[in-house]
Every structure is written in structure tokens, then in C-alpha cells.
Amino acid sequence: MKEEVIVDYLKRHGLEAKSGKTILVERKTRKRKWYAALLGKNETEKIFLNFAEREFVILPIAQDAMTLIEGDYAQVPLIEVKSIYFKKQPSFYSLMIQYNNATETDDRIKKYKVPKEVPDSPWHAKNLENLIDRFGLTEPK
């Protein structure tokens, strides 16, 4: 998918729309048995995250066609977020988003898998670099 498609989508919905602020991430949709993880069988969902100045926007994707779902998005004001940071893994990054007043066992800590490169979206790697520069590779103190 071209980044311009995402920027146009954001503009159509009255959201802050700038290039260089969107990445593709994966999140688990359902936990399965421990051996399913070893075999790569945990169910995941791909979504785009766009990080504007005062909020981030969650943009769901039709999984079979890899297209944005019209009108289906969620806005999260950054004032509701305690920390955002990346962790480097051998073949990908983990994006950690911790909401205010979250505990270790709380679902208010979100973890996303972020591929280093996305073949269909060559702009993703550059945007990922920009966001790592913005938020950092370690948890803020």
C-alpha cells in the first residue's frame, strides 16, 4: 500500500495527516496454547498506527485485501499514554504503549510486533526509523 493512500484516508476523516508518521504493526487477537506460539499459529491482526503530534490513530485493515476499512479507526490522545517506546528484537521491533495507571497484569499495556521492513510498503522502514528517533528504544524512567 502506498503511504499517500493512508494520508488521504486521514485527511478525509479530518485527522492530522502527514507523511512519515505511519507504520504497519501486528497484534495478537487471541492467545492459544504455548505450542501454537512455537509453531507460529497464534492469530494476529495487521493494522496501521499513525502517530500525530497530540494523538495516535489505529487504522484497521481488511486482512484479506490489505486495504483500509473506510470509517473504522480509533483515536487515542497522547495525554492518556504514559509511555511509548520500542524494543529491538533479532528480526523485528516490539512497540510498547503503556496507558496511564496501567499495571503489569493490565490490558492497558499494549505490545505490537513491528517488522523492520514491509515489501509492499517501502516507506515503512523510513517511518519506523523516524518513530524510533522520536520515542526511543528503551522505556522512559
Sequence-separated (6 or more) residues with CB below 8 Å from residue 107:
none
Judge contact between 18 and 4, C-beta under 8 A. no
Written as nine digits, the cell of 51 is 502517530
- The per-residue pLDDT for 44 is 82
Which one is the CATH code of 3-135: 3.40.190.10, 2.40.30.130, 2.40.50.140, 2.30.29.30? 2.30.29.30
pTM attached to this predicted model? 0.85
Written as nine digits, the cell of 87 is 524494543
Report the distance separating Cα 82 and Cα 97, nearest Å: 8
- The per-residue pLDDT for 126 is 97
Written as nine digits, the cell of 89 is 528484537
Domain boundaries, the chain: 3-135
Q: What is the dihedral of CA 58, 69, 91, 82, to 10 degrees?
A: 10
Could you list the pLDDT tens digit for every one of the 141 residues in the chain?
Answer: 999 999 999 999 999 999 999 999 998 776 655 555 555 555 788 999 999 999 999 999 998 888 999 989 999 999 999 999 999 999 999 999 999 987 766 667 899 999 999 998 999 999 999 999 999 998 776
